[in-house]
Amino acid sequence: MTQSSQTAVLAGGCFWCTEAAFEQLAGVSDVESGYAGGAKDTANYEAVCRGNTGHAEVIRITYDPAKISYGQLLDVFFDAHDPTTLNQQGADRGTQYRSAIFVAGDEQRKVAEAKIAEHNTSGHFSRPIVTSIEPLTAFYPAEDYHQDYARANPNQPYIQAAAIPKACKVREKHPALMRREK
């Protein structure tokens, strides 16, 4: 992480899907799958899958705020998953798949609260947003085989059915934020 980069930690269901949606954004230098919301000793896939650790599957986004703002990341976040379903994204059910913004300080909290209010009043969603705003106490990286999973396994059925459509939706809704290939 460079001196000018910042991080955002977001939970929007399966981290394979959210990771793929954010890796394509200009100004994003890294997206890492992991866990947040629970204790260090339960920060592993086997324990988190049980749904009783307090953890959510999250991504930690490292970004350059001169190229993409925290608010823009949250706009993508709200379009990359369904923030109106409680503890569920598609067929994935449980608190580990909750919609949550893990904030690192008052500024992130203020932006998150404002974005939720904006989306709730805009009619962008037909139901109220249930995304929780939670303090980021720690981020625990997921096991190596979860990192860049969609990129490494593009033909895996779940990736084809869930991750790729989310990445495509983000490209369609946020074309100005996409990384330009050289």
Active site residues: 14
Q: What share of the chain is helix, strand, coil (3-state, %, to 5)?
A: 40, 25, 35
**152: helix, strand or coil:** helix
CB 120 within 8 A of CB 129: yes
164-173 vs 15-23: helix crossing angle, rounded to 10 = 40
Q: How far apart are CA 11 and CA 57, in angstroms?
A: 6
